[in-house]
């Protein structure tokens, strides 16, 4: 089946390529012919009166060509991505460049010259901004700012070092006569060095995204590549003006001016970005009534910040980066959920599209005789210097950095950092910007730049993954962690924070805390709409999303079952549920058993399961199919996932992933409130019990836990906040908290089905309804202790949800029997919300 699929893909790929050949052929013909054709048409129309149709290629030529190229680039990506076994070995960026070679060859074959090139204007004004904006917008802010010092060190000092050393060494070699007769002076060499000094974010993301190195390493390389683009452009401009001035005119004053302008340009650019970012946040604060176009603002304002910085001759790249970084939080909070999704997707579409275009055109550009001026010495020496000085620079800078880092970057990290110095389109764009009048050897420089780009992107890109594996670089932690490790990692994090608090160490977290405080107090107040501030708690968002997903799946299944009646009709709904459950339980059991076996868990429950399965003979085939589907789909969403989502995060924990083509939610941590209340409740309990001489509550029966949990949504969080700095004299009034018992997040309109089970939070004062399927099926051993309440207080769960949690739940059942504590606990539960669609005890 798999093989067949691949064959299919290849076929498709070949077809697509034929199509491309056809397209470019047509295009080229059209292009070469269109002049004569135009004349012909005009003649024809003037002679024979009103034409019914005319062929007006020249009217649409430019946009048509652009659109064609976009689609061609897209098709290239499609073909490449269809062959997974290839992209596993060779990074996509390298393949795109190669397909660019092929396309370039076709164009060359048709036109006998290269008509399409990556031209700096197009690159800098139309292709680059959205990539950088996307990078800024999906920047893992915390990680970025935590490592900002190191990143800046590499981006500024490292880039200058690269530019200077490459330039000087090449000049030295030139003086030594290693490259024959070239008309390049010291300043030109420095200029060349500066344009080669930038590590390219596009290339870096494309390669590192597939490698999954650990997050610190990633942010170091990625952040550096992002910021040093700005630095490179600045350096380039400074040296460019030096070159224009000419050697003799440069004196100390000019050099000082150059250095000053470097800083002004860099910081000015960042400032412009910051201002636009804040403006954007403010703007989205009041776009409530024009929700449909609010996503557009992000792009337009981002682009404006780019252009404004460019206009003021400040660093446009830095500007748009910081615009994205700065607005993301407020914008996401201010805008409607749908707009945020739109922005995310549109951003990815644009960035991914441009990236594809850039790589394809980098390939196409190479197929051109006019840019190739071969000078072996120059090219090889440049390549050597670029690589060597990158390594030296990185090692030296990390050596400095490690003096200040708590967890030093080890040798492997350094090697990968030096090896990750991929050059890309920015270097080429700058090279293409060189002025031929001032620099005689421009073609040689462009050619060399291209070779370095190909070398780094293709060769280093391909070897990166094996290298990372071979060196056993710490990878990004993924799901292979055992549960206990996962829990333990969290314990470690919390532990560190606690110990830091106790020992009064302000090193790592102090500044961040200060900033958070300021940010919460002023920035959020100013930039976020009040409603957004309130629903800040992202737990509810997750909860909401889970429910939404469940509801969707539920409807899906209902539809495939041939009826949507249950949506309109309550009793039908329940009947459906009931039937479904019956069917479901017996069918899913075998799968679950297998699932558990796969997880290599010695499970004594398999026999129990088998017994249950045997007890119910009827198996609905249809249901079986669905269940299988559901199981497969939710294979990945297992316990690990659950833990991942719900474990509290400690202050210095930051989850992130940056990827051009996927995005995770940047999850902030807003659980402090919950933990705080829980802790306070605990202390109060133990205090009370100590005072009254009652034995402290058994460790396992965590009464307070449930209560505090339920108190979370009471909307009193803002008042509680004032106690944060307060110490243990904190007054915890029980009546208070009980009276404030209102669900903070109520049912959101537009979630689809008008079905109480899917409401995120339900009115707790609603009368207890015992749904029919509970009433009749309550034969559990814990009957009489009202286990249904516990179930009802849990997540509303659809059968599909049950699917993914099923292995857990099964084992739960068996642990349920011995531990009576859990059933005691259910007595303490607040009044249950109305019935969940599924009750786990009924199997």
Closest distance of CB 486 from other proteins, Å: 9
Binding other proteins (rule: CB under 8 A), the pick from 31, 438, 490, 512 is 490
3-state secondary structure of 636: coil
> For residue 834, which of 779, 749, 760, 776 has the smallest C-alpha distance?
760
**x/- letters, 636..655, toward other proteins (CB under 8 A):** ---x--xx-xxxx-xx----
Please say which residue, 26 or 498, places its beta carbon nearer to other proteins. Answer: 498
Specify the length of the chain in residues: 843
Q: Cβ distance 719 to 680 under 8 Å?
A: no
Segment near other proteins (CB under 8 A); pick from 370-378, 483-491, 553-561, 739-747: 483-491
Q: With binding defined as CB under 8 A, does residue 499 bind other proteins?
A: yes
**What residues numbered 722-751 form the site for other proteins, per CB under 8 A?**
724-728, 730
**What residues numbered 139-198 form the site for other proteins, per CB under 8 A?**
none
Rounded to an integer, what distance in angstroms lies between the CA atom of residue 116 and that of residue 409?
44
Rounded to an integer, what distance in angstroms lies between the CA atom of residue 161 and that of residue 164?
5
Rounded to an integer, what distance in angstroms lies between the CA atom of residue 99 and that of residue 359?
9
Binding-site size for other proteins (CB under 8 A) equals 84
Q: Cβ distance 427 to 453 under 8 Å?
A: yes
Rounded to an integer, what distance in angstroms lies between the CA atom of residue 211 and that of residue 205?
10
Closest distance of CB 130 from other proteins, Å: 36
Q: With binding defined as CB under 8 A, does residue 840 bind other proteins?
A: yes
Q: Cβ distance 634 to 803 under 8 Å?
A: yes
Closest distance of CB 573 from other proteins, Å: 23
Helical pair 57-82 and 2-47, crossing angle rounded to 10 deg: 180
Closest distance of CB 272 from other proteins, Å: 35
Binding other proteins (rule: CB under 8 A), the pick from 531, 563, 679, 733 is 679
Tokens of 62: 């430019």
Tokens of 635: 């294979």
Residues 6+ apart with CB under 8 A from 217: 409, 413, 416, 417, 473, 474
Which residue(s) pair with 475 in the sheet? Answer: 213
Which position has the token pair 């474990």? 647
> For residue 232, which of 192, 188, 184 has the smallest C-alpha distance?
192
Please say which residue, 304 or 539, places its beta carbon nearer to other proteins. Answer: 539
**x/- letters, 787..826, toward other proteins (CB under 8 A):** ---xx-xxx---------x-xxxxxx--xx--x--x--x-
Please say which residue, 436 or 727, places its beta carbon nearer to other proteins. Answer: 727
Q: Is 584 left (phi over 0), alpha (psi -120 to 50) or beta?
A: alpha
Q: With binding defined as CB under 8 A, does residue 498 bind other proteins?
A: yes
3-state secondary structure of 567: helix
Binding other proteins (rule: CB under 8 A), the pick from 700, 766, 775, 783 is 700
Tokens of 818: 């011995």
**What residues numbered 406-465 form the site for other proteins, per CB under 8 A?**
406-407
**x/- letters, 192..221, toward other proteins (CB under 8 A):** ------------------------------
**What residues numbered 50-109 form the site for other proteins, per CB under 8 A?**
none
Please say which residue, 36 or 503, places its beta carbon nearer to other proteins. Answer: 503
Tokens of 481: 């962690």
Binding other proteins (rule: CB under 8 A), the pick from 43, 488, 733, 739 is 488
Closest distance of CB 697 from other proteins, Å: 11
Q: With binding defined as CB under 8 A, does residue 502 bind other proteins?
A: yes
Q: Residue 563: phi, psi to the nearest 5?
A: -145, 140
Tokens of 727: 């110490």
Rounded to an integer, what distance in angstroms lies between the CA atom of residue 735 and that of residue 727?
21
**What residues numbered 564-603 form the site for other proteins, per CB under 8 A?**
601-603
Q: With binding defined as CB under 8 A, does residue 260 bind other proteins?
A: no
Please say which residue, 62 or 503, places its beta carbon nearer to other proteins. Answer: 503
Please say which residue, 27 or 780, places its beta carbon nearer to other proteins. Answer: 780
Q: With binding defined as CB under 8 A, does residue 512 bind other proteins?
A: no
In DSSP notation, 243-255 reads HHH-GGG--HHHH
Closest distance of CB 598 from other proteins, Å: 13
**x/- letters, 346..385, toward other proteins (CB under 8 A):** ----------------------------------------
Binding other proteins (rule: CB under 8 A), the pick from 438, 475, 533, 683 is 683
Closest distance of CB 627 from other proteins, Å: 20
Binding other proteins (rule: CB under 8 A), the pick from 674, 756, 759, 798 is 674
Q: With binding defined as CB under 8 A, does residue 782 bind other proteins?
A: no
Rounded to an integer, what distance in angstroms lies between the CA atom of residue 806 and that of residue 822?
19
Closest distance of CB 665 from other proteins, Å: 15
Q: Cβ distance 830 to 707 under 8 Å?
A: yes
Please say which residue, 81 or 828, places its beta carbon nearer to other proteins. Answer: 828
Rounded to an integer, what distance in angstroms lies between the CA atom of residue 744 and that of residue 458?
53
Please say which residue, 60 or 601, places its beta carbon nearer to other proteins. Answer: 601
**What residues numbered 538-557 form the site for other proteins, per CB under 8 A?**
539, 542-543, 546
Rounded to an integer, what distance in angstroms lies between the CA atom of residue 329 and that of residue 236?
33
Closest distance of CB 145 from other proteins, Å: 17
Rounded to an integer, what distance in angstroms lies between the CA atom of residue 265 and that of residue 287?
33
Binding other proteins (rule: CB under 8 A), the pick from 10, 492, 526, 817 is 492
């Amino acid at each position: 089946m798999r093989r067949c699929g691949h064959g299919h893909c290849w076929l498709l790929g070949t077809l697509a390529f034929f199509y491309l050949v056809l397209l470019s052929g047509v295009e080229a013909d059209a292009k070469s012919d269109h002049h004569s054709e135009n004349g012909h048409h005009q003649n024809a129309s003037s002679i024979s009166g009103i034409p019914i149709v005319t062929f007006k290629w020249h009217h649409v030529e430019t946009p048509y060509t652009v659109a064609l190229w976009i689609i061609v680039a897209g098709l290239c990506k499609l073909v490449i991505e269809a062959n997974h076994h290839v992209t596993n070995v060779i990074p996509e960026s390298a393949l795109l460049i190669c397909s660019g070679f092929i396309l370039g060859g076709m164009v060359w074959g048709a036109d006998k010259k290269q008509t399409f090139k990556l031209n700096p204007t197009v690159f800098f004004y139309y292709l680059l901004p959205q990539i950088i904006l996307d990078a800024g917008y999906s920047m893992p802010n915390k990680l970025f700012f935590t490592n900002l010092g190191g990143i800046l060190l590499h981006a500024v000092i490292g880039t200058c070092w690269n530019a200077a050393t490459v330039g000087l060494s090449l000049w030295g070699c030139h003086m030594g006569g290693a490259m024959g007769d070239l008309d390049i002076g010291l300043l030109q060499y420095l200029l060349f060095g500066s344009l080669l000094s930038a590590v390219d974010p596009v290339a870096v993301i494309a390669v590192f995204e597939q490698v999954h190195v650990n997050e610190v390493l990633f942010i170091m390389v990625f952040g550096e590549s992002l910021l040093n683009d700005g630095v490179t452009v600045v350096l380039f401009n400074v040296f460019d003006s030096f070159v224009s001035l000419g050697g003799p005119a440069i004196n100390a004053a000019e050099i000082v001016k150059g250095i000053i302008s470097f800083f002004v340009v860099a910081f000015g650019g960042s400032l412009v970005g910051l201002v636009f970012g804040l403006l954007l946040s403010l703007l989205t604060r009041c776009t409530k009534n024009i929700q449909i176009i609010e996503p557009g603002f992000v792009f337009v304002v981002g682009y404006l910040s780019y252009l404004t910085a460019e206009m003021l001759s400040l660093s446009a790249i830095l500007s748009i980066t910081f615009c994205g970084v700065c607005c993301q939080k407020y914008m996401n909070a201010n805008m409607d959920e749908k707009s945020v999704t739109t922005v995310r997707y549109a951003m990815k579409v644009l960035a991914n599209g441009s990236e594809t275009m850039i790589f394809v055109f980098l390939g196409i550009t190479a197929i051109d005789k006019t840019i190739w001026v071969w000078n072996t010495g120059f090219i090889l020496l440049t390549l050597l210097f670029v690589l060597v000085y990158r390594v030296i620079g990185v090692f030296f800078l990390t050596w400095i950095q490690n003096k200040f880092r708590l967890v030093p970057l080890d040798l492997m990290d350094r090697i990968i950092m030096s090896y990750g110095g991929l050059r890309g389109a920015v270097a080429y764009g700058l090279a293409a910007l060189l002025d031929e009048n001032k620099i005689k050897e421009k073609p040689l420089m462009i050619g060399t730049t291209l070779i370095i780009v190909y070398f780094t992107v293709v060769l280093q890109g391909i070897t990166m993954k094996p290298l990372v594996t071979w060196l056993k670089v710490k990878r990004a932690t993924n799901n292979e962690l055992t549960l206990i490790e996962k829990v333990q990692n969290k314990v470690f994090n919390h532990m560190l924070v606690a110990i830091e608090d106790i020992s009064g160490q302000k090193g790592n977290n102090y500044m961040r805390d200060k900033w958070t405080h300021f940010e919460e107090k002023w920035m959020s107040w100013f930039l976020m709409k009040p409603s957004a501030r309130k629903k800040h708690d992202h737990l509810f968002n997750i909860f909401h999303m889970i429910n939404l997903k469940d509801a969707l799946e539920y409807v899906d299944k209902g539809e495939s079952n041939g009826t949507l009646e249950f949506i309109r009709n309550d009793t039908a709904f329940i009947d459906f549920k009931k039937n479904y459950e019956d069917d479901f339980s017996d069918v899913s059991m075998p799968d679950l058993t297998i699932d558990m076996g796969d997880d290599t868990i010695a499970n004594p429950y398999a026999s129990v399961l088998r017994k249950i399965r045997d007890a119910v003979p009827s198996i609905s085939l249809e249901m079986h199919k669905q269940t299988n589907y559901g199981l497969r789909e939710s294979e990945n969403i297992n316990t690990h996932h659950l833990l991942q989502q719900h474990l509290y995060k400690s202050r210095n924990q930051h989850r992130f992933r940056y990827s051009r083509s996927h995005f995770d939610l940047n999850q902030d941590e807003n659980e402090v409130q919950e933990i705080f209340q829980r802790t306070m409740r605990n202390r109060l309990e133990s205090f009370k019990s100590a005072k009254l001489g009652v034995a402290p509550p058994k460790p396992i029966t965590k009464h307070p836990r449930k209560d505090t949990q339920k108190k979370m949504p009471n909307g009193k969080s803002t008042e509680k906040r004032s106690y944060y700095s307060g110490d243990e004299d904190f007054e915890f009034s029980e009546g208070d908290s009980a009276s404030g018992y209102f669900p903070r997040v109520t049912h959101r309109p537009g979630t689809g089905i008008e079905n109480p089970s899917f409401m995120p939070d339900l009115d707790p004062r609603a009368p207890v309804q015992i749904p029919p399927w509970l009433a009749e099926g309550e034969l559990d051993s814990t009957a009489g202790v009202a286990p249904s309440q516990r179930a009802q207080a849990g997540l509303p769960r659809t059968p599909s949800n049950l699917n993914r949690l099923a292995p857990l739940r099964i084992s739960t059942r068996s642990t349920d029997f011995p531990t009576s504590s859990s059933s005691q606990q259910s007595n303490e539960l607040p009044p249950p919300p109305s019935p969940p669609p599924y009750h786990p005890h009924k199997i």
